[in-house]
Amino acid sequence: MEHRKISRAVISRLPRYHRYLGDLLEEGVERISSNDLSKKMHVTASQIRQDLNNFGGFGQQGYGYNVKYLYTEIGKILGLDKTHNFIIIGAGNLGQALANYASFERSGFILKSLFDVNPRLEGMSIRSVQVRMMDELVDFLANNDIEIAALTIPKTKAVEVADILVANGIKAIWNFAHTDLTLPKDVVVESVHLSDSLMQLSYNISRRKESRKK
């Protein structure tokens, strides 16, 4: 299927559409109107129509959207029609929490190993995925088809470890360490700051309080 050039703003909303459509599929829903999807997602129906029109021909007037088709097509755009092997560097609190989250697999992200420097973690398994020591990393990368590395280590170590990952072929870093990484252009970095959404929440709480006062 032909896609128009899709804006970054729309792309950033696609994972959320994908998640909701996945839930609808699990509930056995075959078709949904933009109005019903709008109520479910708390987004205006016109925003949904505008976003989904980017892919052309999904919605039929009066019939709504074909949930499975839309889910599959958005999945393809997000590259979810293939599996992506990933590793986690730093098997501490956050690394273990991520490793315990089984739903990544549902979207095709397969955790192959965790790595750490703490010898007490050596040999430990999380949902059958082994924690290895950092001195095994280079060999492991050479012998396994790993696309993504999640960085859940102290920020003081992140730059050094990211350089090792990139020198050994990693092209995508999911960066949880609160530091900016300057890496070659062909390496994609997605930085996650959970506190950003908390701050967003705090902003919304203050706005509500303000409007109640008026």
> Does 91 appear as a known binding residue?
yes
User: Toward ligand NAI, which CB reaches closer, 24 or 114?
Assistant: 114
> Does 90 appear as a known binding residue?
yes
Which helix H or strand E contains 200, and what residues bound it? helix 194-213
Nearest position to ligand NAI, beta carbon: 92
Could you tell me if 71 and 33 are in contact, meaning their C-beta atoms sit under 8 angstroms apart?
A: no
How far apart are the C-alpha atoms of 134 and 114, rounded to whole Å? Answer: 9
Provide the minimum distance between the beta carbon of 129 and ligand NAI in the complex, in angstroms, as a whole number. Answer: 15
> Does 93 appear as a known binding residue?
yes
Neighbours of 174 (CB within 10 A): 19
Provide the minimum distance between the beta carbon of 133 and ligand NAI in the complex, in angstroms, as a whole number. Answer: 9
Q: What is the dihedral of CA 192, 195, 199, 201, to 10 degrees?
A: 90
Q: Binding residues for ligand NAI, per CB under 6 A?
A: 89-95, 115-118, 134, 152-155, 157, 161, 176-178, 192-195
Name 132's bridge partners: 115
Residue ranges of alpha helices (H) inside 54-154 are 67-77, 93-99, 103-106, 137-143
CA 100 to chain centre: 15
Report how many helices (DSSP H) and strands (DSSP E) the chain contains, helices first. Answer: 9, 10
Q: Which structure tokens are listed for 128? A: 């059958």
User: Toward ligand NAI, which CB reaches closer, 127 or 155?
Assistant: 155
Residues making up the annotated binding site for NAD(+) are 90-95
